[in-house]
Amino acid sequence: MSVSKTVALVTGGSRGLGSNIALKLAAQGTAVIITYNTRKDEALKVVEQINNTGVHAVALQLSTEHTDSFPGFFNTLADVLQTDFQTDRFDYLINNAGIGLHMPFEKQQKRSLICS
């Protein structure tokens, strides 16, 4: 497995659009770091698919909902970039991760009024 000179960070890369983006980037020879929140096994399957093509990929856990976890994530990311990719930076950032609120629209309006 070769280490690409180009590295992309794809947040929310464990499934759906994020995994498709990660796979397309890898098909073009770009090494990929994907993030996942709770679906580690799905993320590891995407990493395995990419690694099987000869392009290097890694999955890191990240909860975009808990911003207090960001400093720890950045430290882990820096370590992974250095040890796994022999670089101190990534070239592309694809912000695909997000959080959702699953409730009827009327309740969302009431909740936003209470939180304001």
95 occurs within a structural domain = yes
Range of the domain at 59: 7-115
49 occurs within a structural domain = yes
Count structural domains, the chain: 1
Tens of pLDDT, residues 60-92: 999 988 889 999 999 999 999 999 999 999 999
33 occurs within a structural domain = yes
CATH (domain of 98) = 3.40.50.720
pTM: 0.81
Tens of pLDDT, residues 12-51: 999 999 999 999 999 999 999 999 999 999 999 999 999 9
Cβ count near 41 (within 10 Å): 10
